[in-house]
Amino acid sequence: MVDCRRVFRGKVIDYFVSEYRNGRTPNPCVECNRHLKFGFLLDKARSLGCECLATGHYARIVVRKGRPALARGADESKDQSYFLWPLTRARLKHVLFPLGGMTKLQVRDQASRLGLAAASRPESQEICFINGPYADFLRGRFAPVPGDVVDPEGRVLGRHKGIVHYTVGQREGLGIAIGRPQYVLGIDAGKNRITVGDGPLLRSAGCLVGEVNWILPRPRRAARCLVRLRHRHPGAPASVKALSGYRAEIIFDQPQRAVTPGQSAVLYRGGLVLGGGVIGPPRKNPVAS
């Protein structure tokens, strides 16, 4: 038994709270993979003399030009490669994904044959350390402060309950009525205000990405790829340009809706993960209408 509570609290829970406090929408599963499963746990396994760490992620590791690469799982509906982009090639050498080539049904069938209790366990896609609404969890760690809801020109339309209650693209629970649907366009933690506007204004022509990890070789010039902006996002054709300081710029072929700071942008090329990073400021569509 290895006690991971301190690392989990610092790298996952505290991060989750801090991101919401700063007006961003975090992805705790990515950080858990980065710091716990393939950080703390893998390092511990290696220190004990273990050659590899095997996990139940639905993803595959393939070899390209003598180097390990991360590929999507065979079961597209369960593919978890989106959450694994922080894995470096050095760490991929010591990781196994034995379920990556199987479907969920095949896994359940095999678990049943082996008499494993997990065979009939219901699925859960909720955050493991939260029971109930996110806002209730966050209120237990800091007090949300009400502030202004403004339109894109800065005109005050109403008051919000605290920025932790909102995320980019949200329509419900805004507490304003102007005769047409309004959506959260942005969250300014410094000014403690929410900007809302019409649906077309949610579209972004591109975005900057930070904390970039290149699993395939870093492109020397603008490269074509498919970008997933959320776990269930089908992917958008785009061009990506590597910048200095673990950053990249993504320009979409067609403007994308609700590009959310704090979430992950994961880059794919032919079913392989080219790399990924954390979404920063979106680049607004200049002809949004």
DSSP letters of 194-250?
EEEE-GGGGEEEEEEEEEEEESSPPPSS-EEEEEESSTT---EEEEEEEETTTEEEE
Cβ neighbours, 10 Å, residue 163: 24
How far apart CA 118 and CA 128 sit, in angstroms, is 17
Q: What are the b/e assignments for 260-275, b being 16+ CB within 10 Å? A: bbbbbbbbbbeebbbb
The amino acid occupying position 247 is: R
H helix runs in the chain, sequence order: 5-8, 14-21, 28-32, 42-47, 89-92, 104-113, 134-139
Q: Which is nearest to 39 in space by CA: 208, 221, 231, 213?
A: 213
Cβ neighbours, 10 Å, residue 83: 23
Query: Which residue in this structure is represented by tokens 């403004």?
Result: 150
Active site residues: 32, 128
How far apart CA 167 and CA 258 sit, in angstroms, is 9
Q: Is 254 left (phi over 0), alpha (psi -120 to 50) or beta?
A: beta
How far apart CA 147 and CA 23 sit, in angstroms, is 13
